[in-house]
Amino acid sequence: MLVKNATPVQSSPVFVYLYIVKTTIHLLLLAVLCCLPTTAADNIYAVIISGGRSKLYNHERYWNDCAFLYRTLHHVYGVPKEHVTLLMADGDDPATDTLLEGASGLVSQSTDLDGDGIPDLHLSATCQHVSEAFGRLAESLTPTDHLFVYLIDHGERTTDGDVHLCLWDNEPMTAGQLSTLLSRCHPATMNIVLGQCHGGAFADHLQGDGRVITIACAPDQLSWACADRPYDEFVYHWTCAIAGHDEQGRVVDADLSGDGRVSMSEAYRYASSHDRRPETPSLLSWPEGLAHRWSFSGMGDGSAVRSITTDDDKTPIYDLQGRMVKNP
C-alpha cells in the first residue's frame, strides 16, 4: 500500500551506524540490569500467623506483636507488603475478636497494621487459609528466595504428648501438619520464630537443612507476656533487636559484631538476655553457622547493610498498642 507524504527512509551509512550503536547500548544496559543482584528484601517472603483461638483468648498483645514485626519488615528492611502473608484471628471480619489488656473489653482487631490508613490484614488464621498460603509459596518460591515464618499466641500439648497450634475458632493444626506444609516449600533458607507456648516441642518437628529456628520457651514451658507492656516477652525483645528500636522509638543496638547487620544469633542473644520471665529460649540452626549469617539485610555477604538513625527527630514513635503516633 502506498502512503502519500511519507518521509523517505534514510539508508545512509551514517544512519545504519547510529542504529547499530544505539541498539548495542540498549543491549548492554539490559545485560547489566539482568546481572545486578537483587536486594535482600526482594528475596524475602514472610508468613505471620496469630491464631488467637477465640475472642476470649485472643489477647491484644498478639496484634501488637504482629504489627510491630510487620512494620519492621516493611519500614526497616523494605520487604514489599505483597511478600508478607498475614493470617490473624478472624482476619478482616468486623465482628469482635480481640480481648483488650486487663480484660477491659472486646474489640475487632484493626486490619491496618502500619497506620497508613490502608488495610493490610484480610485472611483469618484457619487451617484452610494457612494451608493455601503455604501452597501458594510452594509454587512461587525459588531456590534464591528466603522464607520467614512467625508464629505467636497459643500452643498446646495433648495427653499423648503431641503439640498443636490453636488457630481461630479453636481449630487445631498439629506440628506434624505444619511441618508437612513447610516441607513443600523449597527456598534457599527458612527462618522460623516460635513464640507460642511449648515452642520447643514444635521445633522437634520443624528442624531441617537450611533452617534457623528461634524458640521462646522449652517443650514443657509456657511463653509469657511482658509484665509492663502489652506484648509477649521474648518475641518483643527479638523484634526490638532486628528493628533497632523499641515500641517507643528508643534505639536498640543488638549488633554485637558492629558490621551494621543483626544476625539471628545476635537477635537471639539480645532477646534471651533481656527476657525477664520464667521461660527458656533457644536457637537452632542447620548448618550450625547459618544463624550467624542469616539477617534481614543480607545472608552474611554484606551486600545489603542497613543503617539505623539515632536522630530522635527522624525516629517513628509508637504507642503501647503499637499505633504510630509520630511519623517523621
Cα–Cα dist 114/117, whole Å: 8
Cα–Cα dist 253/256, whole Å: 8
Q: Residue 8: what pLDDT? A: 37
Question: How many C-beta atoms lie closer than 10 Å to residue 294's C-beta?
Answer: 24
23 vs 322, higher pLDDT: 322
> Above pLDDT 70, what percent of the chain?
79
3-class state of residue 24 by DSSP: helix
Write down all domains in the chain, each with its CATH number in brackets.
Answer: 44-321 (3.40.50.1460)
pLDDT digits (tens, 9 = 90+) for 256-302: 999 999 999 999 999 999 999 999 999 999 999 999 999 999 876 54
The residues, ordered by sequence, that sit 6+ positions from 292 with a Cβ below 8 Å of its Cβ are 263, 264, 265, 285, 300
pTM (2 d.p.): 0.83
133 vs 29, higher pLDDT: 133
For the ranges 25-34, 74-83, 176-185, 282-291, the lowest mean pLDDT is seen at 25-34
Q: Residue 102: what pLDDT? A: 87
Whether the per-residue pLDDT at 246 is higher than 60: the answer is yes
Cα–Cα dist 151/204, whole Å: 15
3-class state of residue 131 by DSSP: helix
Distances (CA, A) of 250 to 130, 193, 203, 263, 277: 34, 23, 32, 20, 22
Strands (E) located in 202-320: 211-215, 282-286, 317-318
Cell of 278: 520464667
Q: Residue 158: what pLDDT? A: 84
The residues, ordered by sequence, that sit 6+ positions from 158 with a Cβ below 8 Å of its Cβ are 164
∠ CA 120-43-322 to the nearest 5 degrees? 35
Cell of 190: 527458612
Cα–Cα dist 328/326, whole Å: 6
Q: Which of 107, 194, 109, 214 is nearest to 152 (CA)?
A: 194
Q: Residue 309: what pLDDT? A: 35
pLDDT digits (tens, 9 = 90+) for 199-237: 999 999 999 999 999 999 999 999 999 999 999 999 999
Let me know how long the chain is.
328
